[in-house]
Structure formats: C-alpha cells, structure tokens
Amino acid sequence: MVTASPILSGPFAPAARLTDSYGRVIHDLRVSITDRCNYKCVYCRTGEAGPQYPELAIDEYLRLIRLFVSLGITKVRLTGGEPLLRRSLVDLVRELANLRTLTGEPLDLALTTNGHLLDSLAAPLKAAGLNRVTVSMDAVDAPTFERITRIPGSFQTVLGGVRAARAAGLTPLKINCVLLRGFNDDQIESFAHFARQEDVVVRFIEFMPLEEGRLWSPEIVVPLREIVKRIGRVLPLVELPPREAGETARRYGFTDGRGEIGIIAPVTQAFCGACSRVRLTSDGKIRTCLFSQVEHDLYGRLRAGESDQDLRDYIHRTVQGKEARHHIGEPGFLKPSRSMVHIGG
C-alpha cells in the first residue's frame, strides 16, 4: 500500500513514503559500512572467519542512502562490523549531515561502535554532524570485558572512548550490553550503578541467535523480567514511556531520578509489530528484517545502471515484502542467512 500525502503528489514529487504490507511505516535505515571488526566477541564471532563481504565506496553508500531518504527515511544508523575502521567515515557523516528529510529536517544520524577507536574520533564525528553514538560494552570490569572481546587492554580503551564521546556531546550516550547467562549476567547490578556514575543509558539486550557458531539456546537468554527484578532489588525502578513509536528498548528510570536503563527484549517481548527498520548490508543488499532468509541486491542494480527512479521503485517493492516478525524459539525457526557481524546491529 503506497500512501501519497498532498505535498508528495504531482510531477516533481519524490516517490511516496515507505510502508510494508502490514501498514508499518519504515523511517529507520541501518547501514553497515564494513563487516571488518577489530574485536572477536565470543558471542558474535565464535569462529575464526574474517570479513566475507565487499565494502562499497563511500559515495556509493551516499547515493543509496539518498534514495532511501527521498522515500521518507528520517533516521540513519551507521553500523558494521566496526564502522570506525572505515577511513572516510567522517566524510560520509559530513555528507549525510547535509541531507534533508522529506519535511526539510536534518537526518537523525547515529552510529553503533565497539568504542575502541572512539577516543580520537568522537570530536571529529560530532563536528561533522553525527548526533549520537551507541557503544557496545558487555562488562564493567576489565577481566570479564576482555574475556568476552578477546582483546587484552580493551576495557580502559573503550571506557576512554565513552568518556570522550560524552565530552564531545554525542548524547544521549547509550551503552548496549548483550547478556548471556554464565558469561556476563553477573554484571547486571554493576551496570546499573555504571549508568548513574557515567551518566549513560545502559541498554541490556536479550541474546539473539545471530552468532557465527551454535552458542544460542533459550537457557542462555537472560529475560527482561529477571533483569528488572535483579536491578529493582538494589536500585528501585519505574517504567518510562517510549520516546518514539517503534523504539526497541523498554525504558526504566531509577525512582530517585538519577539515570535510566533500557531493555531490548526481542526474545521474550518481541516488538516486531511496530518495526520501522530496514537494513543495508556492507555490500549493498537490502535486508527487510534482521532474520531475513533472502536479500535484495540494490547495489547490483545500481551497478547495472538503473535510474534513481527504478531503484526507488525497487526499494518500494522490496519493503512491501517485509517479514511480519521473527520466529525465534518456534519449531522450524531458521537462523538468518548471515551472522550479526555481517549484517550490522
């Protein structure tokens, strides 16, 4: 179903906004700009496999992202692998900051990083127009952190990056912590204190079956209810309303008003009904869902010389076929055709 508002009809109007066959409006695009990563987190890259997919040139990402923005995308999140490994990242951010949404607003520009290179890049990224960052941190003590990342000395480096990002004004600064029972579930209460001490929003994520190997099982997932109960015992919580429709995290404030946490619970409290996202992989394929079994080769069509209008029509048709939801834990559930490091968060 294609909806056309009055300002969008007529000969010069850009194509109509993106909606899928369930009526969900897609306004959030996640773009992986590399599947290279300088970390080997145990729950993500369980194998020794390295990067597998090519990267596009920065101006090719720009052309593809412009097409999505002309279709109503208002939020772009840059991901990876590790996006800070791309040398021309700051240039890409600067170009994206010049784009305007269909209503003439600047894009909401965000980035997800493991934080290893953030100390030196936070200020240049902010100056280029980046609004905010999310840093993946799965522990708040060095031994556990480095057991998970398998990179010695990484904890202090990332902590330095977090503080540099906050100082640069890349806020609200979010910390994503993927919880695995038996790996880092002992960090829950410490992370709640960390959120208050560092003035960051810590978001706990239920572990999804997106790893390279076969680590995932229902037993390894730490469910939302348990996280709320455990934190509530030490620091009482109150649930907060979502900031926007389609927000993936459930928000909780501390009853003393100092700080906030979030919980992203795709396994026990799925939020697919309000999903507003599609993804572009580092090699230019559209994934309409994190758990898609099929991909759509947008870049291949660009390389074949298709016009911008043909590419827009292709994006429209592709989004129409977006999956209703994931089927984690159900009989017949199939892991996606790529693992997380090759999709991007």
Residues that bind ligand SF4 (CB under 6 A): 271-272, 275, 277, 289-291, 323, 325-326
Q: In sequence order, what are the residues at sequence separation of 6 or more whose Cβ sits closer than 8 angstroms to the Cβ of residue 132?
A: 110, 111, 170, 171, 172, 173, 174
3-state secondary structure of 210: coil
Nearer residue to ligand SF4 within complex by CB, 295 or 323 = 323
Nearer residue to ligand SF4 within complex by CB, 237 or 328 = 328
Cβ at position 317, least distance to ligand SF4 in Å? 18
Nearer residue to ligand SF4 within complex by CB, 30 or 174 = 30
CA gap 56, 34 in Å, rounded = 8
* 8 Å CB contact between 281 and 342: yes
Nearer residue to ligand SF4 within complex by CB, 55 or 323 = 323
Structure tokens at 10: 């007529």
Cβ at position 325, least distance to ligand SF4 in Å? 5
Nearer residue to ligand SF4 within complex by CB, 17 or 287 = 287
Cβ at position 288, least distance to ligand SF4 in Å? 8
Cβ at position 324, least distance to ligand SF4 in Å? 7
CA gap 227, 234 in Å, rounded = 11
CA R_g for the chain: 20
Number of continuous H segments (helices) and E segments (strands) in the chain? 9, 12
- Count the Cβ atoms, other than its own, within 10 Å of residue 271: 16
CA gap 49, 218 in Å, rounded = 25
Cβ at position 334, least distance to ligand SF4 in Å? 13
Cβ at position 245, least distance to ligand SF4 in Å? 13
Cβ at position 186, least distance to ligand SF4 in Å? 28
Nearer residue to ligand SF4 within complex by CB, 56 or 340 = 340
CA gap 272, 77 in Å, rounded = 18
Nearer residue to ligand SF4 within complex by CB, 122 or 275 = 275
Nearer residue to ligand SF4 within complex by CB, 80 or 345 = 345
* 8 Å CB contact between 175 and 135: yes
Structure tokens at 240: 């907060």
Nearer residue to ligand SF4 within complex by CB, 231 or 315 = 315
Cβ at position 279, least distance to ligand SF4 in Å? 8
Compute the Cα dihedral for 263, 221, 76, 306 and give only its sign.
negative
CA gap 343, 81 in Å, rounded = 8
Q: Does the N-terminal peptide bond of residue 143 adopt cis geometry, omega within 30 degrees of 0?
A: no
Residue 108, Ramachandran bin (φ over 0: left; ψ between -120 and 50: alpha; else beta): beta
CA gap 280, 204 in Å, rounded = 24
CA gap 113, 135 in Å, rounded = 5
Cβ at position 205, least distance to ligand SF4 in Å? 12
Residue 56 Cα distances to 80, 106, 279, angstroms: 13, 24, 15
